[in-house]
């Protein structure tokens, strides 16, 4: 089986579960460390000719991370494309199992069982908290409706304030975000790299949780560690 992955989460999952199956991955596929495969561009601008030259048996993609015209071009070139949709944690487990089976996994991997167990009963604070979750600045953008990251936070007792917004990633002026007075501002390090010196200063007087974006937005082996790591970051914001 020769697989090209256009999704960092799926790259990590396939590389750990079906060693040797991956022959290509995006420039943004950083896990597992030291992955030695052909690089085929970004998630939004993959080099379709390069992908087709690798003669993949399967290209794995995601309906949010990858653009339909690129996937259509791969299909037109003769590639089989599997497209995942992941908006919730349970959906992540279903899509991971489907993808791994398609990639030739002989059995369900142990890490997937561990991840499901971790999310079966995650540690949740006694009182639910409200949050805003910026994912970009200049302009400011936040999590809106129907997002995987929003479902992750909700399962940890954190309700983000734009969960019912008409858009999935609305642009919201920072003054409005401050005026919403959330219990916590969740600042991931991807897609925008928020840091202690870039982000919290925009929300004076509000607790800010700096979180590893891989635990908030990736669905793969990191899911097993995500509840503990995110809960720790959220607690640290209130110290």
* pLDDT, tens digit (0-9, with 9 covering 90-100), for 48-58: 999 999 999 99
Q: pLDDT-based confidence at 238, cuts 50/70/90?
A: confident
Span 127-152, average pLDDT: 96
Contact 140, 134 (CB under 8 A): yes
* pLDDT score, position 171: 97
Of the chain, the percentage scoring pLDDT greater than 70 comes to 100
* pLDDT, tens digit (0-9, with 9 covering 90-100), for 60-118: 999 999 999 999 999 999 999 999 999 999 999 999 999 999 999 999 999 999 999 99
Contact 134, 142 (CB under 8 A): yes
Of the chain, the percentage scoring pLDDT greater than 90 comes to 95
Q: pLDDT-based confidence at 124, cuts 50/70/90?
A: confident
* pLDDT score, position 227: 96
- How far is it between the farthest Cα atoms of the chain? 55
Query: From the CB of residue 152, how many other CB atoms can be counted at a distance below 10 Å?
Result: 24
Contact 206, 181 (CB under 8 A): yes
- pLDDT above 90: residue 237: no
- pLDDT above 80: residue 125: no
Contact 157, 210 (CB under 8 A): no
Q: pLDDT-based confidence at 215, cuts 50/70/90?
A: very high
Q: pLDDT-based confidence at 197, cuts 50/70/90?
A: very high
Q: What pairing do the DSSP bridges indicate for beta strands 38-39 and 22-25?
A: parallel
Per the model's pLDDT, the better-predicted residue between 2 and 122 turns out to be 2
* pLDDT score, position 123: 76
- In 3D, which of 168, 211, 202 has the Cα closest to residue 182? 202
Contact 157, 125 (CB under 8 A): yes
- State the Cα–Cα distance between residues 102 and 228, nearest whole angstrom: 30
């Amino acid at each position: 089986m020769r697989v090209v992955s256009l999704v960092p989460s799926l790259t990590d999952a396939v590389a750990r579960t079906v060693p040797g199956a991956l022959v290509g991955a995006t420039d943004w596929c950083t896990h597992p460390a030291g992955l030695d495969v052909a690089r085929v561009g970004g998630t939004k601008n993959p080099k379709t000719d390069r992908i087709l030259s690798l003669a993949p048996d399967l290209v794995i993609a995601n309906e949010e991370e990858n653009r339909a015209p690129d996937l259509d071009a791969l299909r037109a070139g003769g590639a089989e494309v599997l497209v995942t949709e992941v908006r919730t944690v349970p959906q992540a487990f279903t899509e991971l199992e489907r993808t791994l089976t398609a990639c030739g996994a002989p059995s369900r991997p142990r890490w997937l069982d561990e991840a499901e167990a971790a999310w079966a009963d995650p540690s949740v604070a006694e009182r639910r908290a409200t949050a805003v979750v910026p994912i970009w600045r200049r302009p400011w953008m936040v999590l809106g409706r129907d997002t995987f990251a929003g479902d992750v936070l909700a399962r940890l007792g954190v309700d983000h304030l734009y969960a019912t917004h008409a858009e999935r990633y609305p642009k919201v002026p920072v003054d409005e975000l401050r005026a919403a007075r959330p219990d916590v501002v969740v600042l991931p390090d991807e897609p925008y790299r928020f840091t202690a010196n870039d982000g919290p200063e925009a929300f004076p007087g509000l607790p800010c949780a700096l979180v590893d974006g891989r635990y908030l937005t990736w669905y793969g082996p990191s899911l097993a560690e995500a509840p503990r790591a995110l809960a720790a970051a959220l607690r640290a914001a209130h110290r």
